[in-house]
Every structure is written in structure tokens, then in C-alpha cells.
Structure 1
Amino acid sequence: MAAEAVPKASETEGETPNDDVRVKKAMLQKAVKALVQVIAKKSANANPLFDSSSETMTLQLTLTKIPERRVDRPVIIRLPHPMYDAKSEVCFICKDPQKKYKELLLTKHPVPGLTKVIGVTKLKKNYKEPKDKRALCDSFDLFLCDKRVVEMMPKVLGVVFYKKKLKPPIPVHIKEGLEDPKLEIEKAISGTCFRLPSGPCVGVKFGRCSMPEEHLAANAAAVIATSIKLLNRSGILLQSISVQATGCPALPVWRRPAPPGSKLDLKKYRADAASSAASDTGASGISDSEITGSDITSDAGETLSTRDTVSEVDTASDIGTAGETLSEMDSEDDDVSMAKEDLPLLQGLKSKKRKLGGSAPAAAVAAPPKKAKKMKGKAA
């Protein structure tokens, strides 16, 4: 049980950021076994027409910081037990002209599992609509592409491949001399991809849930060891490692202890973010409910009356005095009982009533002079 699945990241090149990463083999096997059981229970009542091995397992690597730049070209990690074999269906996206590469890959140097070759021009012409792209994505287990056209793949394939289905093509180096590309294609089919992300998390597939548990654990250990080396090259510190299956929660297998010191103050972080957004847009970063001083419970369980001063969110000039807190403003409103005569709005209304009240009786008593003369003539 004390055996470790992942050795030190580097023992010859001095200290590296992830030298302290240790993943116990027993913990890794336990997580894989639990996910396999969950998937088996979920697929027991599934439609038998669908592929029972479509669920995959992914290694989730959480980083302590976001990489400075994303590398679109992935690094292929060799797996001891490949996810795809001769029974899998693989599609290759080639450079134009399609006919030349189709003859090379399907006739001269056939690769087991590679069943379709499609050129970029034909791909753009026949798969414009999202429904066509979804149909293409669901028709194959794996997609490969020529290394020279990988830069245009996100625009051609769109969010269906890169965001929803998570099946971006793996670039393969095809030489101009049209030499035997079989070795490079087999290397891509038998491995998995590590892509340096634009966010704080890296996901690397390492197997299908239908594979034996010992094969999945061995693949996961190989992915962890290689991923640590790749992160060390970029100087990125690893925060945690989890194992996740399709439609299942991630199970942690290793986590770095929290650094010493105070934890991140989310209240202050959000206040700073609101003030920076307000300064950029020229609008106030405080809501109407905060202006009135009403009790609104924050995410931390605190009310506005117990929060910090308003000056921390750069709105002190808009509300009260610069050193005045919301709690002080609330207390003044409660303690001071204001008379109706002190309110300027009511004073204005009362003055109008006085003017109307003084003029109305005079108009009712005193008749106009013309009407008075007529009334005297009639009386006579």
C-alpha cells in the first residue's frame, strides 16, 4: 500500500516546482474502481444501441496560476494501454489535394483503425452547419489532422469539436516527400494529448471506462508522471490531481497543502473588482439597495451594516461623509425622529395649500362688479 505510482518529477536537474508531488498507487486504484462502478451502474439501463465504451476517464490537474500563454499544439503522451485499437474508427483531416493523401493513407500505407481521409476544402464545403459538424463528430472515435492545417481547425470545426464534444483533432507531422507516415499516425492513435490551457485546469484523457481497472490505473500513473515533467518545464506549480469519468464527479487523489498565511478575502476581492469595473466604465459600483443602507446578506453571511467602510469600494464621495460607515448612517436614521415640518417637500405642499385656502373664500364672498350691478337692477 505504501508504493507510489508517481516518482519524483526530476532527480537529476535539481529542484523543480513539483518535486513534492506524491500520488499513492492505492488511492489511484481506489478512485478508478469507484468511477468504474458508477459508470457500470449508470449504463445498466442504457440503450444497447449506443456504444457502452463511449464513457472516458480524464485526469484533472489544477494549477496554482494561469499559464501566460496557451499552446494550441498538444504534446502526445504515450499510454501503456492505448484507448483506441484496430476496431476504433479514426478520421484524418489532410491538406489539399485530398486525393493524394487519401491514396497515401488508405492504399499505400494503411493504418488499422483509420477509415476516412477528408481534405480541408471538402470539410468546409460539406460540413458548414452545426448539425453536420455534430454528425461528423459522432461518427468517429478520434480525429487526426495534418500539422500544417492545425491552426485553422478551431475556425473550421467550431465549438462542436472544441467545446461541446471535446474532440479536437490531434496534429500529426506529415512530411512533404510523402514518406511512410504510419509511425507518426500510430503514435497519435496509441497516445493521449496534453494541452497547456488558457485557464487554471488541465484535462487529459487516459482511458475508456470499459477497459480493465489495472490498465486504467497504469495509464493514469503514466499521464501524471509525464504531465508533471511538462509543467516543470513551464515553471507551473501543481495544486491538486483528480480523476473524473464522463458525467461523474471528480475524485481527488492528491492535493497540495494550503500555503501559510491568511486566506483570500473574497469580500475585499469582489469590492476591488467592482471598484475597478466602475472606474473603467465610469459608473458607480454600488447598487441601489446598498445606497439605501438596507440589510442584504452577503455571500459570507454578513449584512451591510457589519461590512467595511464605504470608502473601500470608492463610493465615499457619493454617500455621506468620507469616513462614515453604513452602520453609522443606519443608526442616525433610527435615532433622529424628523418632524413633518422639517421636510422640505411637505413644507412646499403646505405653502401651496395656504395660498389656495386664502384665495378661495374671497372669491366665493366677493362677486364681480358687473354681476353685482345686474343683481341690484333685478331687485329694483
Structure 2
Amino acid sequence: MDSKTEQPTLDKDLIEKAATALLKYVSKQQEEKSNDILADKVHFVWLIVSTHRFLDITKDKPVSIPLKHPLYDASTEICLITKDPQKTFKELVASKNLKRIRKVIGISKLRKKYQPYEAKRQLCNSYDLFMADDRVIPLLPKLLGKCFFQRKKQPIPVCLKNEKHFEREIFKACNSTYMHFSPGTCLAIKIGRTDMTSSQLLENIVTAVPCIVNKIPRKWKNIQSLNIKTQFSTSLPIFNADPFTQIFK
């Protein structure tokens, strides 16, 4: 612990060992269950942040966290939800040749065409990633329904006020992860993918953790533990607060 900054030093060796063990586990599961959901599929690696104190925070817009190695690549299929008229944004996507954006939906079309639950479910399953103009983000929980939030595919907010910065904002969103606040003592944040190396996972964690902790009330004083996991694995610890250290009391 650095007494001046009151910030713990992350153990990089421990993090890389945990990442290596996690990737080996996933690889073994894929070999053993060749016909299962785990087989030949890339999964997200999650950073689980546990806090000492209850976080009584709810935000419509998630917090952007930069990553060293992006979670999304050129093969990612994106659906962009925009303000009306959607034609303006469709033309922007075409003019910038943003092939990753496979569909543009205006807020009026979303409200009209995707009312039934089955329509929402099919939309959720049709794309890898959803982005939305940050001006319509507050409207989306009601319009999209539970399926998006249960599958943790909430749209990522992008600032589309200035057309000149359109491409930059899309690129920035693809190179970040997002922290969604909700009341409780646990936060789950996508930190990598199972097709990354342990070194890449390490670099993402070391890059992201200071930004994540800085957004949490009381910062490091409120961090009880950090773990990594996939959807189908157990959690592996990469940091635990010293219960005898004064700053955590």
C-alpha cells in the first residue's frame, strides 16, 4: 500500500496467473463439450468489483472505461439507435463506410415496430453490439424491455450531436468498456475476451481498474475485492483488501 496515495499496487503476476488459469479452463471446457454452448465460441471475461459499502447509485448512462485491447473488432455487427430522422444517420454511416454498423433504427421506428416482446427479443439476438445516441438513452429501458438488460446488451451511449465527430465517437465506443451502476455491492464489467492472451487481459485490467475505482464513491477505500470470470466459470481473485488496514475501516 502506498501511504501517500492510499492506493494498493495491483499484483501483475497474480493477475496474469489468474488470466492464464481462466483461459486454460475455458479451453478445456471447449474440448470436453464439443457440442455444448461453450464449444468454439468466444466469451467475454468479466471483472467483478465487490465493495464494502452499499452503492445506492442508479444511472441511465454507463461510465466509459478505456481499454488497451478492444472488446470489439471489424467483425462485430452493430445496431445504432438514433434520434429522428434516422435517414440522416443512415446517410452518415454510408458516407463514412462504417460497415460494422449493420442497422440504423430511429427512435420512432423503435417505438412503433418493436413493441411486442418477441420483436424485442429477435432484435436483441440479431446484433453483437448496440449503440445509441446519448440523447435517447433515457428512453430505452422502457422501449427495449428486460431482454436487453438481462443479456447485458444495453446500448452503449455515443455523442452524435456533431456530425464531424461521428466516426470518432463510434470508434471510441468500440475501444471502451462500460460500467453500469445499480444499487448493491457488486459491479460486473466486461474486461476482455477468451480469444485474448493472458498478457492482453492483464494489460486491459491494469488500464481499466484505476479508471473504474476512481468512479466509485470512496474509491479504493470502498474496494473489498476484484475477481475475473466468464459467464460459465468460477471467479478467480486478483485483489483482496487487507482487512487490517486502517483505510478500509
TM-score (norm 1): 0.59
**Alignment check: 8 A CA contact 2:30 2:38 kept:** no
CA RMSD of aligned residues (A): 2.5
1:245-264 matches, cutoff 5 A: 245-258=230-243
Match of 2:69 among 73, 78, 81: 81
- Which structure has the highest helix share of the two? 1
| CA 1:52–1:235: 2 relative to 1, 3 Å | same
2:10 counterpart of 1:23: yes
**Alignment check: 8 A CA contact 1:67 1:236 kept:** no
Structure 1 residues 40-92: Cα deviation after superposition (integer angstroms, max 9, x where no partner): 12223334999834411010110111224322212211111111111111111
Distance between the aligned counterparts of 2:103 and 2:78, measured in 1? 7
Match of 1:57 in 2: 45
Match of 1:110 among 94, 97, 102: 97
What is the identity, as a one-letter code, of the residue corresponding to 1:193?
Answer: Y
| CA 1:100–1:236: 2 relative to 1, 3 Å | farther
| 2:26 aligned counterpart, secondary structure | helix
**Alignment check: 8 A CA contact 1:57 1:206 kept:** yes
Match of 1:201 among 168, 177, 186: 186
Match of 2:139 among 140, 146, 152: 152
What is the identity, as a one-letter code, of the residue corresponding to 1:166?
Answer: K
| CA 1:102–1:66: 2 relative to 1, 3 Å | same
What is the identity, as a one-letter code, of the residue corresponding to 1:98?
Answer: Q
Distance between the aligned counterparts of 1:48 and 1:166, measured in 2? 21
| CA 1:196–1:48: 2 relative to 1, 3 Å | closer
2:110 counterpart of 1:92: no
Distance between the aligned counterparts of 2:117 and 2:143, measured in 1? 11
Match of 1:227 in 2: 212
Distance between the aligned counterparts of 2:218 and 2:128, measured in 1? 31
Match of 1:166 among 146, 152, 156: 152
| 1:128 aligned counterpart, secondary structure | coil
Distance between the aligned counterparts of 1:50 and 1:114, measured in 2? 27
2:130 counterpart of 1:143: yes
Moved over 3 A (4+): 46-54, 232-236
| 2:242 aligned counterpart, secondary structure | coil
What is the identity, as a one-letter code, of the residue corresponding to 1:57?
Answer: V
Structure 1 residues 172-231: Cα deviation after superposition (integer angstroms, max 9, x where no partner): 0111x5334110110001110123332111111011111222111211221212112222
- CA-CA distance at 1:238 after TM superposition: 0.8
TM-score (norm 2): 0.88
Match of 1:120 in 2: 107
Distance between the aligned counterparts of 2:37 and 2:57, measured in 1? 42
Distance between the aligned counterparts of 1:49 and 1:254, measured in 2? 30
Of all paired residues, the percent bearing the same amino acid is 32
**Alignment check: 8 A CA contact 1:70 1:197 kept:** yes
Structure 2: unaligned runs, 5 residues or longer: none
Match of 1:213 among 194, 198, 203: 198
Which of structures 1 and 2 has the bigger CA Rg? 1
**Alignment check: 8 A CA contact 1:110 1:182 kept:** no
| 1:181 aligned counterpart, secondary structure | helix
**Alignment check: 8 A CA contact 1:78 1:192 kept:** yes
Distance between the aligned counterparts of 1:128 and 1:34, measured in 2? 44
More RCO (CA 8 Å, sep 6+): 2
| 2:204 aligned counterpart, secondary structure | helix
- CA-CA distance at 1:108 after TM superposition: 1.8
Bigger shift: residues 142-151 or 22-31? 22-31
| CA 1:197–1:234: 2 relative to 1, 3 Å | farther
Distance between the aligned counterparts of 2:146 and 2:73, measured in 1? 27
Distance between the aligned counterparts of 1:131 and 1:141, measured in 2? 18
Structure 1: unaligned runs, 5 residues or longer: 1-6, 261-380
| CA 1:49–1:165: 2 relative to 1, 3 Å | closer
Distance between the aligned counterparts of 2:214 and 2:110, measured in 1? 36
| 1:22 aligned counterpart, secondary structure | coil
